[in-house]
Amino acid sequence: EMRVRATRVLPSDAAGIAEAARLLRAGALVALPTETVYGLGCDATDPLAVASLYAAKGRPSFNPLIAHVPDIAAARRVGILTPAAETLAARFWPGPLTLVVPALEGATSELARAGLASVAIRIPAHPVAQAVLAASGRPIAAPSANRSGHVSPTTADHVRADLDGRIDLILDAGPCAVGVESTIMDCTGSTPVLLRPGGLPREAIEAALGFPLADTAPSLETAGSQTAPLAPGMLASHYAPSVPVRLDVHHVQPGETLLTFAGARPPGSEAAALVRDLSPSGDLVEAASRLFALLRELDAGGAGGIAVVPLPRHGLGEAIADRLRRAAAPRPD
Ligand code: TXA
Ligand code: MG
């Protein structure tokens, strides 16, 4: 059961980092910044800490967690880096990339892996995450620091809004630069597979591998179905604001707010309750970094729904489209 905790917020200075590492080693729940989104961290080797993390998030426990480590040497203690994983790790770690590889038995708790024989590993680039991981000396399991089913947090305030009273510490390092979660690549087989588009664009991975990746759109669309999804946590409605979201909108309906891009103003915009532009200059990197904060703002705007204009699909546009598709998906209840 979830226990009530006094949630402290500390700045990410040397004292804050030391306290975060001390708490993590003691089995506590600590929200920490990464360059993608804020993660809710705990010691991945401690099944009690992992269980309390699932409870704090209200997350279904079949959903495996990413093990965060400070460097390649630590990654090799958690999983077996296959040839494809070696190539991608050398090119993109530290960074917004998660690699799924065969797990080293006993290196992380089975609960953190949800019983799978594989493990998802990431080396984040954020200097605060790096410092906490190095100081804790443990692989840190860290899902996004939101209640299950809510939008991922890109500021310490987002974390507090979702998890105040449920976790021990929030380390505040300001807004996250990338703003969408890491790209997840399954490297367990001979052909690497893109499981989740994210902060590292597909094009960069294809250039490093020297061949194109299979189209993942069909599997992402079935990710919430009964059949085993590729990334088991990717429930179709994972990124869900409380009001309906309409995509690829060419006419804004009365009572809707508008999420737009590059200054676009489709008919009906004049009457929109609120208009927010992901990137007035049409920059997809800026758009990704602002996506979750603007979704939260429009959701809180008290309107009947959120209308979203069509967006480009290249580069980070693939991850943005994926998150928006989930935000617009029918709700389970
Ligand atoms: O950017 C990120 O990846 C953030 C920051 C905090 O690092 N973390 C994050 O974690 O987004 P989370 O738990 O929200 O998403 C992890 C995803 C889930 O969809 C989960 O199912 C998948 O990774 N995953 C974890 N282990 C896996 C495995 N062994 N095989 C396939 N998918 C796995
Ligand atoms: Mg998440």
pLDDT for res 224: 40
Nearest residue by C-alpha to atom 1 in ligand 1: 181
Q: How far apart are CA 246 and CA 285, in angstroms?
A: 22
Q: How far apart are CA 100 and CA 46, in angstroms?
A: 20
Q: Supply the angle between the helices 284-300 and 156-163 in degrees, to the nearest 10.
A: 40
pLDDT for res 148: 85
Helices (H), 39-194: 47-57, 72-76, 83-92, 127-136, 156-163
| Gap between the terminal Cα atoms of the chain | 23
Is the CB of residue 256 below 6 angstroms from any atom belonging to ligand 1?
A: no
Q: What is the mean pLDDT of each run of 10 residues along the chain (333 residues)?
A: 88 98 98 98 94 84 88 98 97 98 94 91 98 98 93 96 97 97 96 96 97 68 40 58 94 96 98 96 91 91 93 92 88 53
pLDDT for res 227: 37
Cα(25) to ligand 2 centroid in Å equals 23
pLDDT for res 145: 97
pLDDT for res 237: 55
Write out the binding residues for ATP: 59, 63, 144, 152, 196, 239
pLDDT for res 124: 98
pLDDT for res 234: 55
Which tokens in the block code for residue 105?
């038995």
Q: How far apart are CA 305 and CA 241, in angstroms?
A: 9
Q: What's the sign of the alpha-carbon dihedral 297, 299, 304, 307?
A: positive
The answer to whether the beta carbons of residues 176 and 158 sit under 8 Å apart is: no
Q: How far apart are CA 123 and CA 108, in angstroms?
A: 16
The answer to whether the beta carbons of residues 317 and 217 sit under 8 Å apart is: no
pLDDT for res 61: 63
Write out the binding residues: 36, 59, 63, 68, 122, 142, 144, 152, 182, 196, 239
pLDDT for res 222: 41
Q: Which of 296, 15, 51 is nearest to 171 (CA)?
A: 15
Instruction: Name the residue of 42, 144, 162, 234 to mutate for ligand 1: max ligand atoms within 8 A of Cβ.
Output: 144
* Alpha carbon of residue 289 to chain centroid: 12
Q: How does strand 30-32 pair with strand 39-43?
A: antiparallel
Domains of the chain: 8-182 (3.90.870.10), 245-328 (3.40.50.11030)
Cα(267) to ligand 1 centroid in Å equals 38
Q: Which ligand is nearest to the CA of 148?
A: 2
Between the alpha carbon of residue 208 and those of residues 109, 201, 202, 263, the distances in Å are 32, 11, 10, 34
